[in-house]
């Protein structure tokens, strides 16, 4: 499943072909994806200029000059392919499987520039929705979302405040989109490992009795920033290499320290532990019980 860094990489890959460009024609090749397309979906996009391409959590947001915003979510298996006269690229080539099967191209944006942007999604958990910019604050898909993990407002004080008194595990708290938006299983495992905190630790321990951020909270926020930035950087390198890529270059999975490493030795210097896996809230947690406390 694409996580935040992948979505950010996709955004950066699509930016040059979408921003400041007009959508000439839109093809929807079925009635909908996870949800049906709005009846006026095509009409509200065709002939319109995209003034900016942003991201909120795992949503891509194409700002239209008309005042609409096109929200796009990759779901479990969604990806975009950009076809230009000089060749094709697939922004966001990461560790999640991507389909090459063109029968799964469900939405195609034909840009006035000649670029073709195809949305491919075999499992169809992705979705697209157009929302007037003025109604964004009330949009149910976005309303409950907490702060962006790489945004200025997300810091140790804020994380401590959200976790104060929470009896749930740290892992569950970090996956809660109201606490922090867009963090998924992989990067939560990586961030907890790098900050040497147990995924089973009670979330409330990020706050002192007075509600202030503990050192744990500070360490954790630092690790969240580190893993996300490293992953976005790795995605960026895969973007740069896409012309000659064999599909392996720039994969961030090569630098996972704990995720998907069950049974292998812990990468914390001087730790002699072994990476273990267990199921937590229905998801696989990878951790080292020797150095994550």
- Please say if 276 is a catalytic residue: no
CA distance 25 to 46: 5
* Position 273 contacts Zn ion (CB under 5 A): yes
User: Based on CB atoms, which residue is closest to Zn ion, 243 or 270?
Assistant: 270
Compute the distance between CA of residue 266 and CA of residue 245 in angstroms, rounded to an integer: 30
Please say which residue, 84 or 271, places its beta carbon nearer to Zn ion.
271
Q: How far is the CB of 260 from Zn ion (least distance, A)?
A: 16
263: region left, alpha or beta (phi > 0 left; psi from -120 to 50 alpha): left
Which of 200, 267, 276, 283 is catalytic? The answer is: 283
36 is catalytic: no
Q: Which residues pair with 213 in a beta bridge?
A: 207
Of 233 and 276, CB closest to Zn ion: 276
CB of 46 to Zn ion, least distance (A): 55
User: Measured on CA atoms in the order 154, 157, 162, 168, is the torsion positive or negative?
Assistant: positive
Residue 269 designated active-site: no
Spatial separation of the C-alpha atoms in residues 128 and 61, rounded to whole Å: 10
Residues 242-271 that bind Zn ion (CB under 5 A): 266, 268, 271
- Number of helices (H) and strands (E) in the chain: give both, helices first: 6, 11
110 is in an annotated binding site: no
Q: Any bridge partners for residue 60, and if so which?
A: 55, 72
Among candidate residues 44, 55, 58, 98, the one labeled active-site is 58
Shortest Å, Cβ 259 to Zn ion: 14
Query: 236 or 273, CB closer to Zn ion?
Result: 273
**In sequence order, which residues have a C-beta less than 8 Å from that of residue 158 and are 6 or more positions away?**
147
Residue 166 assigned to a binding site? yes
Question: By the 8 A CB rule, do 93 and 241 touch?
Answer: no
When the beta carbons of 83 and 284 are compared against Zn ion, the nearer one is: 284
Contact range with Zn ion by CB under 5 A, out of 72-80, 125-133, 211-219, 284-292: 284-292
Question: Catalytic: 283?
Answer: yes
According to the binding rule CB under 5 A, does residue 189 interact with Zn ion?
no
Angle between helices 4-18 and 215-240 (to 10 degrees): 40
Question: Using an 8 Å Cβ cutoff, are 203 and 173 in contact?
Answer: yes
Using CB under 5 A as the binding criterion, the count of chain residues that bind Zn ion stands at: 7
Q: Which residues bind Zn ion (CB under 5 A)?
A: 266, 268, 271, 273, 288, 290-291
Query: Active-site residue numbers?
Result: 2-3, 58, 283
> Residues at the annotated binding site?
104, 123, 166
- Which positions make up the binding site for DNA? 104, 123, 166
């Amino acid at each position: 499943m694409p996580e935040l860094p992948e979505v950010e990489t996709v955004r950066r890959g699509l930016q040059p072909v979408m921003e400041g460009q007009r959508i000439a024609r839109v093809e929807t090749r079925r009635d909908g994806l996870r949800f049906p397309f709005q009846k006026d979906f095509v009409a509200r996009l065709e002939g319109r200029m995209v003034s900016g391409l942003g991201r909120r959590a795992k949503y891509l947001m194409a700002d239209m000059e008309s005042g609409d915003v096109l929200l796009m979510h990759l779901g479990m298996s969604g990806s975009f392919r950009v076809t230009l006269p000089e060749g094709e690229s697939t922004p966001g080539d990461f560790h999640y499987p991507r389909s090459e099967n063109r029968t799964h191209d469900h939405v195609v944006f034909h840009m006035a520039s000649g670029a073709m942007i195809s949305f491919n999604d075999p499992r169809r958990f992705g979705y697209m929705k157009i929302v007037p910019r003025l109604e964004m604050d009330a949009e149910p898909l976005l309303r409950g979302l907490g702060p962006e993990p790489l945004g200025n407002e997300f810091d140790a004080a804020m994380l401590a405040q959200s976790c104060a008194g929470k009896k749930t595990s740290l892992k569950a708290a970090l996956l809660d989109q109201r606490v922090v938006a867009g963090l998924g299983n992989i990067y939560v495992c990586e961030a907890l490992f790098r900050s040497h905190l147990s995924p089973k630790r009670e979330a409330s321990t990020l706050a002192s009795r007075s509600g202030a951020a503990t050192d744990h909270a500070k360490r954790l926020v630092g690790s969240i920033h580190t893993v996300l930035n490293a992953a976005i950087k790795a995605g960026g390198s895969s973007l740069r290499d896409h012309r000659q890529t064999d599909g392996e270059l720039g994969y961030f999975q090569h630098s996972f320290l704990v995720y998907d490493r069950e049974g292998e030795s812990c990468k914390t210097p001087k730790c002699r532990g072994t990476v273990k896996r267990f199921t937590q809230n229905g998801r696989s947690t990878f951790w080292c019980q020797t150095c994550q406390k």
